[in-house]
């Protein structure tokens, strides 16, 4: 006989943010006490969340709940989308950009409550080659910082590990040139780019301030000047919460672009994703993300 209770699929990374085992167990209990049968998959390595989310597409689930960092969330999205199964998120990672962007509470009980009672909201997803991204793609310097960040240091000191990696990357070599081309054939040279589907970057910082998860467009920030100094100046402005400006950067919205560059790295949603050349685009409504009712995104 089938269980008449509602079933949740929970995909959780037990090593997110250092050690998330206890919090995952608490979340499981929360959902069970709320009357749900919980089908839990604990990830063991990169790739597991994607496979588990792909399998959940054909299951009889009320919700897919992903517990972990933005990297595990990205994997789950790549396994799930396009789908009408609502995806809720419990932020257990180091940086948790989505939680900040979308107003998902950091407190576990509140996040669990939202996972059950929040509004499934259609969001647009970015594409980097074949892979989907929810928050942002970073090309060049930023992706090298991600690639070089020490996991051991990240577990010990959290976000500070990214600052250490940024310094080492900057000392190593100046940003490499790349060519950005739009669909109408217009091209220009840059020295790094951030392609934002969302507004926030690396925490509460913002580079693509006008982006919106619900809007099917990509906000591009192209770093236009060669050398380390302009990049440092831009990093400082972002750190101080100031907007980036021409001529250091070019900011624009688009729905598709191509980037080319010799040995230039790419990251999506905070995890390495190969290198250029790569096409980037955006598709509306490929995912129903469970968000706070009536707010969508925080101001």
Ligand X SMILES: Nc1ncnc2c1ncn2[C@@H]1O[C@H](COP(=O)(O)OP(=O)(O)OP(=O)(O)O)[C@@H](O)[C@H]1O
Site residues, ligand X (CB under 6 A): 13-17, 43-46, 49, 68-72, 75, 93-96, 270-271
70 vs 297 by CB, closer to ligand X:
70
Report the nearest approach of ligand X to the CB of residue 296 (Å).
22
State in angstroms the smallest separation of the CB of 123 from ligand X.
18
Q: Dihedral (C-alpha) 93, 96, 98, 102: value to the nearest 10 degrees?
A: 120
Tokens coding 14: 């037990």
* Strand ranges, E, within 129-255: 131-133, 136-139, 178-182, 187-190, 193-196, 200-201, 205-206, 218-223, 249-254
Of 123, 116, 110, the closest CA to residue 62 belongs to: 116
| Minimal distance, residue 225 CB to ligand X, in Å | 29
200: left (phi over 0), alpha (psi -120 to 50) or beta: beta
Distance CA 89, CA 17 (A): 15
Measured from the CB atom, is 91 or 216 closer to ligand X?
A: 91
160: number of Cβ within 10 Å: 12
Nearer to ligand X, 78 or 217 (CB): 78
Determine the residue with CB nearest ligand X: 69
**In contact, 102 and 289? CB cutoff 8 Å:** yes
Q: How far is the CB of 13 from ligand X (least distance, A)?
A: 4
Written as six digits, the tokens of 194 are 């951030």
The H or E element spanning position 172 is: helix 160-172
Indicate the residue among 96 and 212 with the shorter CB distance to ligand X: 96
Between residues 21 and 29, which has the closer beta carbon with respect to ligand X?
21
61 membership: H or E segment, kind and range = none
Q: Toward ligand X, which CB reaches closer, 98 or 224?
A: 98
User: In the complex, what is the shortest distance from the CB of residue 53 to ligand X, in angstroms, rounded to a whole number?
Assistant: 12
Cα–Cα distance, 175 to 9 (Å, whole number):
42
**CB of 202 vs ligand X, minimal distance in Å:** 10
Phi (first) and psi of residue 207, to 5 degrees? -110, -45
Minimum CB distance to ligand X smaller for 67 or for 180 = 67
User: Which residue number, 49 or 259, has a Cβ lying nearer to ligand X?
Assistant: 49
**Residue 50 beta carbon to ligand X: minimum distance, rounded to whole angstroms:** 8
d(CA 253, CA 251): 7
Task: Give the shortest CB-91-to-ligand X separation in angstroms.
Answer: 8
- What does the block give as tokens for 76? 């789950």
């Amino acid at each position: 006989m089938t269980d008449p209770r509602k079933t949740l699929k929970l995909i959780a990374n037990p090593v997110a943010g250092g050690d998330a085992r206890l919090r995952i167990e608490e979340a499981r209990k929360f959902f069970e006490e709320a009357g749900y049968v919980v089908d839990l998959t604990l990830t063991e390595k990169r790739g597991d969340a994607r496979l588990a989310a792909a399998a959940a597409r054909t299951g009889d689930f009320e919700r897919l709940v992903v517990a972990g960092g933005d990297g595990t969330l990205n994997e789950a999205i790549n396994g799930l989308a396009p789908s009408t199964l609502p995806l809720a998120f419990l932020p257990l990672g180091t940086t948790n950009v989505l939680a900040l962007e979308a107003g998902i509470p950091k407190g576990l009980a509140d996040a669990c409550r939202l996972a059950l009672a929040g509004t499934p909201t259609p969001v647009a997803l970015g594409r980097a080659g074949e892979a989907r991204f929810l928050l942002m793609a970073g090309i060049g310097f930023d992706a090298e910082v991600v690639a070089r960040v020490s996991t051991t240091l990240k577990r010990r000191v959290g976000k500070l590990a990214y600052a250490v990696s940024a310094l080492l990357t900057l000392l190593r070599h100046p940003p490499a040139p790349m060519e950005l081309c739009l669909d109408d054939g217009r091209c220009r040279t840059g020295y790094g780019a951030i392609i934002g589907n969302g507004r926030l970057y690396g925490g509460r910082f913002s580079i693509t301030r006008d982006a919106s998860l619900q809007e099917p467009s990509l906000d591009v920030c192209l770093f236009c000047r060669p050398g380390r100094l302009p990049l440092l100046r831009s990093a400082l402005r972002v750190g101080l919460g100031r907007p980036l400006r021409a001529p250091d950067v070019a900011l624009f919205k688009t729905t598709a672009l191509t980037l080319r560059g010799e040995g230039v790295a790419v990251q999506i949603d905070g995890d390495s994703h190969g290198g250029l050349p790569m096409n980037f685009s955006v598709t509306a409504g490929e995912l129903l993300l469970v968000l706070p009712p009536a707010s969508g995104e925080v101001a």
